[in-house]
Structure 1
Amino acid sequence: MRYFPTQALNFAFNDLYKSVLLAKLNRNEVIGDFIRTRLSVDVGTHKANRDYTGFMDCLKKTVRADGVLGLYRGFFISIQTYFIYRAVYFGMYDTIRQFVEEDKRNLHFVSSFLIAQVCLLI
């Protein structure tokens, strides 16, 4: 349910992504993903056996144990795979789009949507 709207909006905001890519890296969105991952992995049989009681507890314990850089553990490999995937994804989209219509601004929404679906299938 969460994946489909994300993919649909990727192409709608393709040009916006290109212009604000570095700005996004400077925000703290990565920390929230890291903490959510830590909490989802912290599954004990009982609540008493878990390492973290909540989001803020996980954040505090991680910073206390590993410092602020501990919040970015695994980020480098994650961002590498993300960039490779997105480069192929949008590169295919732009390439196919050039073959379909010479004037990109006049490309009909349905045509653009179908090109996006082809890129998703490949």
Structure 2
Amino acid sequence: MGLIVPPIHHANTVPAPRAYDGLRAVDSSGRVTAKEVLDTLGWRANDRLEWWFVHGLVVVGGADSTLRDRGITRGGRLGIDTQGNVRLSMRLRRVAAISSGSRILLVARPREKTLVIFPSPVLDDVAIRCMAERGIGAES
């Protein structure tokens, strides 16, 4: 009978990330620099993308997205320019309370082929909840 050797786990082995993110500013025309995040998804200029507003978040996917199958109302189209900037329409910015100069968190989910946009109000809620759970800066 042969010797069974368990696999070696290296301390520096890191599992492949399930999401890639970046905190970005929105300019006055709704443009957001997002090349690295978009590259993760394989999205390029002129790809046909659509967005949905779901529980305070903006979820972006291809025209064939499974969100369509879930009965979630589509918000509209989303554009990518040749420099890798995302164009957030005025309608999207109004619905998601995204103003010029505000920061948003972009989270690419390669397995799902979606981009999730966390607007500032959602980030504020997450930060407040996180601090409250840790007993930091309790509101008076």
Q: TM-score when scaled to structure 2?
A: 0.25
Q: TM-score when scaled to structure 1?
A: 0.28
Which structure has the higher relative contact order (CA within 8 Å, separation 6+)?
Answer: 2
Task: Report which of the two has the higher share of strand.
Answer: 2
Task: Report which of the two has the higher share of helix.
Answer: 1
